[in-house]
Structure 1
């Protein structure tokens, strides 16, 4: 079998798989701007369903964005120092802690939500607030922030950088904010985009923790498909992709290694 033929077969299979995955998404998004899904594009294009989604579910969009930003702040405050501590003193204990941090990701979201309900469900004001969902999102996304920052810190000579800064008279805050953070900026950016993306799209855990007044975007999306016209649910999907795709593209761009400029 010659190489051109093999390449053609591989390309055809890749395009076929990509079409299998992408076409349903595109059809769903197209249904959100179609006057009547069952008649197809011939019925005309309209933004009527998009405006209805914004009218009916604007609060879910605002809540999701607010939770994602709050989750990002919490994971930065907790995750970056934790990654620094794990990278500064590598040992069996730190590796064990690192593996334990992944438990909320490995455990199904419904199980994590049930554990939170059992532990804190008795606090009524807390249970019915968006802060309760925020706790679940932080538990779920914190490992991703720590892993992203830890990967960068583990790839640099952290000890030499700190000793050099200390020899120049830099205090610990000066070393941390002036030396450590700039050197792990790429990990912080990648982790931040991942946290925001996961928080906006998280459904399993949120569905268990939400109340009628604390619906997030994915929960509203499920509600729209269950109780509204198909076109409204599809318009909701379109809005969701408009919000999430820029974050995914940015995360993909930041994950690429930077080319060094030739001197």
Structure 2
């Protein structure tokens, strides 16, 4: 083969096997792009916008408010664990005051638990049916009854206790018994059970379920046990926790109704702060804190939703996800 044929093959633009030549068009296109990027002005770092500043301010206010509420509780707990409150933690830590409080006031602890258990039992037997009936009834009479049930919450506890004393104070044996305090606690806590159950029964479609069960021959008792109670369980749990917590911590009403033999936990707490050292009163606060905090934690841990909004939202989200899966994809194109 001649040299001309070799040089001609290379001049024709066909590269030799194994060799590559740069693409002139790509090279020419990359030059303006690089020049445009180098000539682009550098953007300055942006300052936080108004929404970010507003969110930071909300967080700051929330943290300050939490500190304002929590710091006194922490200081009270520390006072019950120190040897001398006026010297502070430098005087040393001790459990002496807790032991002394338990020795002197353990009867009040068990008495408060008995009152709370009896109050819970009565509110369950009366509040659950009442909440169900108020949720099913749409008449004006039911709304008036509901307002009367909520009335003890609006009134001060001292006023409710005075009313009970005026009406039932003449019955000496009843007045001196523990049941007198239980009646006062039922009057105060019953609205919380009724409203919690009524909210759940009103949000769920109980009427349709009951009509379907009635068409199959189920009696009212069977429908109430197998349909109403399972669907009203979130409201019942929420109301029960609220009733027990409020009964253990109720002071105003109990202080008016108690006797020396029926002194509950909050009344004993007031006595310790009034007549004994502040260390003993703070230790009593620790004991009260230990009794009430598990109830509040249980309410959060169980995910109690008295209104049923979270469960309804989950059901709507699940229904939307199921419907989206059933719909065919609009981007898919059938090809033969």
Identify the TM-score tier after normalising by the shorter chain: over 0.9
Q: In the alignment, does 2:84 pair up with 1:31?
A: no
| Counterpart pick for 1:149 among 193, 197, 205 | 197
Distance across 2 between alignment mates of 1:186 and 1:113: 31
2:310 matched residue in structure 1? 257
What are the residue-to-residue correspondences of 1:101-140 with 2, within 5 Å? Answer: 101-140=149-188
Question: SS where residue 310 of structure 2 aligns?
Answer: coil
Give me the TM-score of the superposition, normalised by structure 2.
0.76
Question: SS where residue 90 of structure 1 aligns?
Answer: coil
The RMSD of aligned alpha carbons is 1.5
| Counterpart pick for 1:185 among 233, 253, 266 | 233
Distance across 1 between alignment mates of 2:137 and 2:167: 33
| Counterpart pick for 2:136 among 78, 88, 99 | 88
| Counterpart pick for 1:225 among 252, 265, 273 | 273
2:249 matched residue in structure 1? 201
Alignment deviations for residues 191-243 of structure 1 (CA, whole Å, 9 cap, x no partner): 00000000000000000000011011000000000011100000000111111
2:95 matched residue in structure 1? 47
Contact 2:206 2:227 in 1 (8 A): no
Q: Which of 106-115 and 244-253 deviates more?
A: 244-253
| Counterpart pick for 1:16 among 60, 64, 79 | 64
Q: Identify the structure with bigger relative contact order (alpha carbons < 8 Å, sequence gap 6+).
A: 1
Report the CA distance between 1:160 and its aligned residue.
1.0
Q: In the alignment, does 2:120 pair up with 1:72?
A: yes
Q: Which of 184-193 and 242-251 deviates more?
A: 242-251
2:33 matched residue in structure 1? none
Q: Rg: which structure is higher?
A: 2
Report the CA distance between 1:21 and its aligned residue.
0.8
**Structure 2, unaligned runs of 5 or more:** 1-48, 323-336
Question: SS where residue 220 of structure 1 aligns?
Answer: helix
Aligned residues: 263
Alignment deviations for residues 139-163 of structure 1 (CA, whole Å, 9 cap, x no partner): 0000100000000000112221111
Moved over 3 A (4+): 258-263
Give me the TM-score of the superposition, normalised by structure 1.
0.96
